[in-house]
A and B are shown apart, each in its own frame.
Chain A
Amino acid sequence: MTAETRRPPAGRDEPRLVRTGSDMQVRPMTPELYRVRSRRADRVDTVTLQLVPVHGECPPYRPGQFTMLYAPGVGEVPMSISGWARSGGYVHTIRAVGAVSGALCGKRPGDVVGVRGPYGTWWDIPAAAGMDVVVVAGGLGLAPLRPLVRELVRELVRHRSRYGRISVIAGTRTPATLVYGRELARWSGLGVDVQVTVDHPDHAWKGPVGLVTRLLDRIVFEPRRTFAFVCGPETMMRATADDLVARGVAARRVELSLERNMKCGLGWCGHCQLGPLFVCLDGPVLSYERASRLLAVEEL
């Protein structure tokens, strides 16, 4: 682990290290430039952007992974990849909650942002083969789950699904804050059991009201042969996972996607630590078997 073996004997005229073009690409804190190809306002505070690389190709990703998205001059934040843009790029659905997410939501087609990644672990979709699949999303938790459901639906459409029953439960604050509403309806039409619940109904709302866990009674799954994918606020994920485990689903077959403060995505900045884990490297997707003990410790 020492540097001595790699270093040539020092001499006065040793050239200074000079950066070269190919060198630059291996500096992991430097973003690649991406152009906003399209922008769709989903709600008052939520926008879906399609981003394509200005130079070169967009690296492949797996559902559940995230990028570090840079709003030039403002800052950089982790964002789940919500899909693959048709012209070879990433889809991101972003809620404006602060300076950086707000600046990203304000980007228009043609604008340039920075992208690093993809980073992190992904949903273990192959492990769900042969089982009932339960997908539970709270709010924007649907963002990293969308590419997963799309993958399952692709097989349904081809009548070659390797999975049992597929259910998607989405919870949202009010009917107006639901994201991917049209897509949820499309999945429903293709044979997915889609259930939506709201915290605060408006007068037009006729569906269920209350926590997502209530809807676990409405869907059909065989607990001992079920794989669950859960993303949303941490309290919602823990309540859902505990409920599923109490119903007989194995904790190792319940996967969550955790949110922590992240400044690098590389295991360098230390911000995302959760006990022994770096959530940017060992997560964000973790099995409940691994996460439950850590999440149970307050302020870990």
Chain B
Amino acid sequence: METVVIRSLEPLIAELRARGFAVVAPTTRDKVIRMGEIASESELPRGCGDEQEPGRYRLREGDDEMLFGFAASPDSAKRYTQPPSRTLFRMRGESIEEPEAEVPRVALLGVRACDLAALAVQDRVFLGGRHPDPDYRRRREALFLVAVNCAVPGGTCFCVSMGTGPKATAGYDLALTELAGPHRFVAEPGSACGAEILGALPRVPAANADLDAAEEVSRTAAEHMGRRVDTEGIKERVAGAHDSPRWQQVASRCLTCANCTMVCPTCFCTTVEDSTDLTEGAAERIERWDSCFTLGFTEVGGAPVRGSGAARYRQWLTHKFSTWFDQFGTSGCVGCGRCITWCPVGIDVTEELANLP
């Protein structure tokens, strides 16, 4: 099925809901764009833009017609593929019960190119190794992905440097490019399922002028990256910098708060927690997101391997830009800029990379 133009997202939202999907899309909550379930197009943040700089996030008024005039929000798709916490099993007496894996039928509307790239990275982590995670696979396969090509990149974005955006090229069911004057979307199917759904919507074939306008959106976005990284030889350069004095300098600012790893769409680390219910005599084991910035993360024999903040920052940056290639054959960073925006002291990974020898 070829590329088409749709006037409104209302029929798409209705069609997805009719097929049993919860439609999860950007909404404004506490002056931040957050992903939340919507029932209608009117719940999308119309006319809303954002300002993102190191340690800074503000919503501002944008172009009043536009529904997606902002960049990455703190919520990525990770929340739906790898829930922040999940019960692994319960043990009662001599039997183990596994709770039915929660596989929400979610359609994510407004996924950006960097987040699609992050999903492909997560696929390698959880499906590409010796021990594929069956629950991850179920959640991943149940997702319906409606990508939106970025028109207004944020001040901390560098997807162009990482080769992941701003235009979505793979891994979506539908890709939309929002156009103004008149307000409309160029819609392109990326899967059989996407084509089927698109086929059920009111639409007109895309004219050459629409396709050109859509190309122009991505071209302009690519020219407005807030940040850049020189990726030439980056894996070797970072690996060779383990004794750089720079780690000490950044550690003097770093609070080891783990915000960067929590907002990162590819960070996958977890820990487990055990508890017992004394009245019922049942034991429970929970898995939840963890971060290499926590002190206990590497504890062995009563002491952490990475005791200093410098060693923990080095682990994070080295993992993202160097050892991830060794482990998974790809960069661990997709250039979404979240870790820069949401760092409370504004540490900028692109600046740290530029300052390494």
- A59 in the interface (beta carbon within 8 A): no
Decide if B126 touches A268 in the complex (CB within 8 Å). yes
Q: What residues of chain A lie closer than 8 Å to B144, measured between beta carbons?
A: 10
Q: What residues of chain B lie closer than 8 Å to A276, measured between beta carbons?
A: 322-323, 326-327
- B231 in the interface (beta carbon within 8 A): no
Interface of A is mostly: loop
With A263-B272, A269-B269, A269-B290 already in contact, the answer to whether A233 and B171 are too (CB < 8 A) is no
Decide if B300 touches A273 in the complex (CB within 8 Å). no
Kindly supply a per-residue 1/0 record for chain B positions 253-275, scoring 1 wherever the CB is within 8 Å of any chain A CB and 0 otherwise: 00000000000000011111011
Decide if B131 touches A76 in the complex (CB within 8 Å). no
Measured in the bound complex, the distance between the Cα atoms of B315 and A5 in whole Å is 35
Decide if A112 touches B94 in the complex (CB within 8 Å). yes
Measured in the bound complex, the distance between the Cα atoms of B310 and A18 in whole Å is 46
Q: Mark out the residues of chain B between 274 and 332 whose CB falls within 8 Å of any chain A CB in the assembled complex.
A: 274-276, 283-285, 287, 290, 292, 297-302, 305-308, 310-311, 315, 318-319, 322-323, 326-327
Kindly supply a per-residue 1/0 record for chain A positions 257-279, scoring 1 wherever the CB is within 8 Å of any chain B CB and 0 otherwise: 00111011011111101011010
Decide if B305 touches A299 in the complex (CB within 8 Å). yes
* Stretch with Cβ within 8 A of B (4 or more), from A22-30, A184-192, A221-229, A242-250: A22-30
Decide if A267 touches B129 in the complex (CB within 8 Å). yes
- B219 in the interface (beta carbon within 8 A): no
* Number of chain B interface residues as a range: 35 or more
Decide if A4 touches B191 in the complex (CB within 8 Å). yes
Q: What residues of chain B lie closer than 8 Å to A26, measured between beta carbons?
A: 134
Shortest Cβ distance from B121 into A: residue: A1
With A112-B94, A261-B297 already in contact, the answer to whether A7 and B191 are too (CB < 8 A) is yes
Measured in the bound complex, the distance between the Cα atoms of B192 and A271 in whole Å is 39
Shortest Cβ distance from A281 into B: residue: B130
Q: What residues of chain B lie closer than 8 Å to A273, measured between beta carbons?
A: 292, 315, 319, 323
Decide if B271 touches A271 in the complex (CB within 8 Å). yes
Nearest chain B CB to A284's CB is how many angstroms away? Answer: 12
Decide if A9 touches B268 in the complex (CB within 8 Å). no
Decide if B20 touches A19 in the complex (CB within 8 Å). no
- B101 in the interface (beta carbon within 8 A): yes
Measured in the bound complex, the distance between the Cα atoms of B86 and A30 in whole Å is 13
Q: Mark out the residues of chain A between 193 and 248 whose CB falls within 8 Å of any chain B CB in the assembled complex.
A: 233
- B173 in the interface (beta carbon within 8 A): yes
Shortest Cβ distance from B134 into A: residue: A26
Nearest chain B CB to A205's CB is how many angstroms away? Answer: 26
With A28-B133, A261-B297, A261-B299 already in contact, the answer to whether A33 and B98 are too (CB < 8 A) is no
Nearest chain B CB to A15's CB is how many angstroms away? Answer: 11
Q: What residues of chain B lie closer than 8 Å to A29, measured between beta carbons?
A: 88-89, 285, 287
Measured in the bound complex, the distance between the Cα atoms of B100 and A18 in whole Å is 7
Measured in the bound complex, the distance between the Cα atoms of B172 and A237 in whole Å is 50
Q: What residues of chain A lie closer than 8 Å to B19, measured between beta carbons?
A: 10-12
Kindly supply a per-residue 1/0 record for chain B positions 98-128, scoring 1 wherever the CB is within 8 Å of any chain A CB and 0 otherwise: 1011010100000000000001100111111
Decide if A268 touches B133 in the complex (CB within 8 Å). yes
Decide if A260 touches B94 in the complex (CB within 8 Å). no
Decide if B96 touches A31 in the complex (CB within 8 Å). yes
With A9-B193, A27-B134, A299-B307 already in contact, the answer to whether A233 and B301 are too (CB < 8 A) is yes
Decide if A114 touches B98 in the complex (CB within 8 Å). no
- B135 in the interface (beta carbon within 8 A): yes
- A14 in the interface (beta carbon within 8 A): yes
Q: What residues of chain B lie closer than 8 Å to A10, measured between beta carbons?
A: 19-21, 105, 144, 193, 197
- Please count how many residues in chain A sit with their CB below 8 Å of the partner chain's CB atoms: 57
Decide if B298 touches A260 in the complex (CB within 8 Å). yes
- A54 in the interface (beta carbon within 8 A): yes
Q: What residues of chain A lie closer than 8 Å to B194, measured between beta carbons?
A: 4
A263 contact from B128, B270, B275, Cβ within 8 A: B270
With A9-B196, A261-B298 already in contact, the answer to whether A270 and B270 are too (CB < 8 A) is yes
Nearest chain B CB to A292's CB is how many angstroms away? Answer: 15
Nearest chain A CB to B170's CB is how many angstroms away? Answer: 6
A2 contact from B105, B120, B290, Cβ within 8 A: B120
With A17-B101, A261-B298 already in contact, the answer to whether A75 and B274 are too (CB < 8 A) is yes
With A12-B20, A26-B134, A270-B292 already in contact, the answer to whether A72 and B91 are too (CB < 8 A) is yes
Measured in the bound complex, the distance between the Cα atoms of B128 and A3 in whole Å is 13
- B242 in the interface (beta carbon within 8 A): yes
Q: Mark out the residues of chain B between 166 and 201 whose CB falls within 8 Å of any chain A CB in the assembled complex.
A: 170-171, 173, 190-194, 196-197
Q: What residues of chain A lie closer than 8 Å to B274, measured between beta carbons?
A: 73-76
A76 contact from B143, B272, B299, B311, Cβ within 8 A: B272
Decide if A1 touches B123 in the complex (CB within 8 Å). yes
Decide if B192 touches A4 in the complex (CB within 8 Å). yes
- Return 16 A-B CB contacts under 8 Å, by A number: A2-B170, A4-B190, A9-B196, A17-B100, A19-B98, A24-B98, A26-B134, A54-B94, A97-B302, A263-B272, A268-B131, A271-B290, A276-B322, A281-B130, A299-B305, A299-B310
Interface of A toward B, CB cutoff 8 Å? 1-12, 14, 16-19, 23-24, 26-31, 33, 54, 70, 72-76, 97, 112, 114, 233, 259-261, 263-264, 266-271, 273, 275-276, 278, 281, 297-300
Other A-B contacts than A27-B98, A29-B89, A300-B306, 8 sampled, CB-CB below 8 A, are A1-B120, A7-B191, A29-B287, A263-B272, A266-B130, A267-B130, A276-B327, A297-B243
Interface of B toward A, CB cutoff 8 Å? 18-21, 88-89, 91, 94, 96, 98, 100-101, 103, 105, 119-120, 123-131, 133-135, 138, 140-144, 170-171, 173, 190-194, 196-197, 242-243, 268-272, 274-276, 283-285, 287, 290, 292, 297-302, 305-308, 310-311, 315, 318-319, 322-323, 326-327
Closest 7 CB pairs of A and B: A4-B191, A276-B326, A270-B269, A73-B283, A299-B311, A73-B276, A266-B131
